[in-house]
Amino acid sequence: MRALEGLEPQSVFYFFEEITRIPHGSGNVKQISNYLKKFATDRGLQCIQDELYNVIIIKDATEGYEDAEPYILQGHMDMVAVKTPDCEIDMTKDPLQVYVEDGRIHAKGTSLGGDDGIAIAYVLALLDADDLSHPRLEVVLTVDEETGMDGAKGVDLSMLRGKRLINLDQEEEGIVITSCAGGARVDVNIPLKCEKPKSGTLQYLQIKLGGLLGGHSGIEIDKGRGNANCLLGRILKGLSEHYDVHMVSMKGGLADNAIPREAEAVIAIDISQKDAVADLVKEYENIIRHELGEKDPDFAVKCREEAWQEQCYDAASTVQALNCLCRLPNGIIAMSKELEGLVQTSLNLGVVVLKQDKLCLSYAVRSSVDAEKDRLCLQMQEIAKDAGASAEVRNAYTGWAYRADSPLRDIIVTVYEQMYGKKPVLEAIHAGVECGILAAKIDGLDCVSIGPDMSNVHTAEESIDIASVQRMWKYLLAVLAYK
């Protein structure tokens, strides 16, 4: 029996479960793209699959809607593939283990991919049906949205007729997104000098912290949650101010747009100082736990002895790397002056890994002001240069500006009010969606973003509300049928 069998609407949940059986983390999208292409071909629908594996599927208008303006329905096929430390699922090749609990869909030990698998499920259910009323549908499913929106940047939309686009990547029912931040990725590489330690003089310690809530670096960046990578860097820098610390290894986080929940490092210190170092780590744990309070109540740090290592990095370059990490900004940089409560500019140190004699840091930068985003990236490059490191800016994308005159937004509001007796909330968000990039490709494109309730996206606790999926399906159908 299928885990989601019996849930309504059956077609939506059938396709959603199908998607969870196909590995589709960012950068691993060929299989799901081919699935979408076969889906269209099997139904005689016009389909275009480009060299990036973006897929466009077109379905003609139903009777009575032949003269109506087409709709572009858009979502992305990749997901942030993260899992708990004890999870044995290989997310590059294994299906997810979905289950239902308390009216929500979860995945055992992994992220669910509701962001943005539910968009794919909605559009496949629409394309598969022959009893629904709608204008011409132009479905655009992009790749690698989560790692820089590469699919949206590269997709060719010249064959489309539509001028109104519904993005299905929103994660709160009843809130219609009307604009969003732009962003970029910044990779910082800090060199470290390797040395061969003298046997018997050093003690190796593993310092591991976890228990943090993490979350989406756009949506939850204002929640004050701890960033495991930054906190570990802070602890290690504090130790280096009192003792000669030799870095051996460091890693934390799985995606630059997810606030990291866990991080760990192995260091070498003088064997006579191991107890004092362990005590100082405990002090930092207590200080940070007090600072985080109820924002991250389960924060914890473990310090234990490690076996002898054949190499480590010298104390001078270790200090230089830790100083650079701690000098680089993280979190909220500026709040909007126009919209109360909206984060204007932020960045997130999502991934840290020590490899090939370099400490590599990966950041997701976001801002609704392009000039401010550019200044922040330049600041990071200058800090890195001062530390003898490099900082590369990549995958920059523009934000999606609010449109004062939006006939599509008027329809979205009107239909919502007819169905629920109240207006939806119109909101700008700090997270990124692909509307701004796509709007630059189609002159006069009118966009909104909607979707059902999800929680803890980009984490192994991600879930999606079943009743909300049902309501948003009915709402989407009503919007498409509206004349």
Give the active site residue among 116, 145, 262, 264.
Answer: 145
Q: Say if residues 468 and 172 touch (Cβ distance below 8 Å).
A: no
pLDDT band for 311, please (50, 70, 90 cuts): confident
> DSSP state, 344?
E
Of the candidates 88, 122, 118, the one whose C-alpha atom is nearest the C-alpha of residue 104 is 118
Structural contact between residues 156 and 142, judged by C-beta atoms closer than 8 angstroms: no
What 3-state DSSP class applies to 67?
A: coil
CATH topology of domain 183-395: Alpha-Beta Plaits (3.30.70)
**pLDDT score at 196:** 86
Structure confidence by residue, pLDDT tens digits, 358-417? 999 999 999 988 899 999 999 999 999 999 999 999 989 888 988 889 999 999 999 999
Q: What is the pLDDT of residue 360?
A: 98
DSSP state, residue 233: H
Angle formed at CA 96 by CA 90 and CA 102, multiple of 5 degrees: 140
DSSP designation for 222: G
Query: What does the mean pLDDT of the chain come to?
Result: 96
Ordered by start, the domain boundaries in the chain are 10-181+399-481, 183-395
Q: What does the DSSP 8-state code read for residue 269?
A: E
Q: Which of 18, 78, 285, 465 is catalytic?
A: 78
pLDDT score, position 300: 97
DSSP string, 154-195: H---TT----EEEE----STTEEEEEE-EEEEEEEEEE--EE
Binning pLDDT at 50, 70 and 90, where does residue 221 land? Answer: very high
> Is 145 assigned a catalytic role?
yes
Structure tokens at 309: 């290592």
Q: Where are the beta strands (DSSP E) in 193-299?
A: 194-195, 202-210, 215-216, 246-252, 258-259, 263-270
For the domain 10-181+399-481, what is the CATH superfamily, name and number? Zn peptidases (3.40.630.10)
How far is CA 9 from its chain centroid?
27
Cis peptide upstream of residue 116 (ω within 30 degrees of 0): yes
CA distances from residue 226 to 278, 283, 360 in whole angstroms, order as listed:
21, 17, 20
Which position has the token pair 């479905």? 139
Active site residue 69: no
The single-letter code of the amino acid at 139 is: V
Alpha helices in 21-169 (DSSP H): 30-42, 114-128, 150-154
- pTM assigned to the model: 0.79
Q: Of 36, 2, 25, 226, which is closest to residue 110 (Cα–Cα)? A: 25
